[in-house]
Amino acid sequence: MTTFHIPGMHCGGCRATVRKTIHAIDPDAKIDFDNEARQIVLDSRAETAKVQAALTAAGYPATPLSPV
Q: What SS3 state is found at 25?
A: helix
Under the banding of pLDDT at 50, 70 and 90, the label for residue 1 is confident
Domain containing residue 16: CATH number: 3.30.70.100
User: What is the pLDDT, as a whole number, of residue 67?
Assistant: 61
User: What is the pLDDT, as a whole number, of residue 66?
Assistant: 66
**What domain range includes position 31?**
2-67
pTM above 0.75, yes or no: yes
**Tally of domains within the chain:** 1
In one letter, which amino acid is 64?
A: P
Q: What SS3 state is found at 63?
A: strand
pLDDT of 9 > 90? The answer is yes
Tens digits of residue pLDDT in 37-60: 999 999 999 999 999 999 999 999
Residues ≥6 apart with Cβ < 8 Å to 54:
21, 22, 24, 25
Supply angle C-alpha 31, 67, 38, rounded to 5: 50
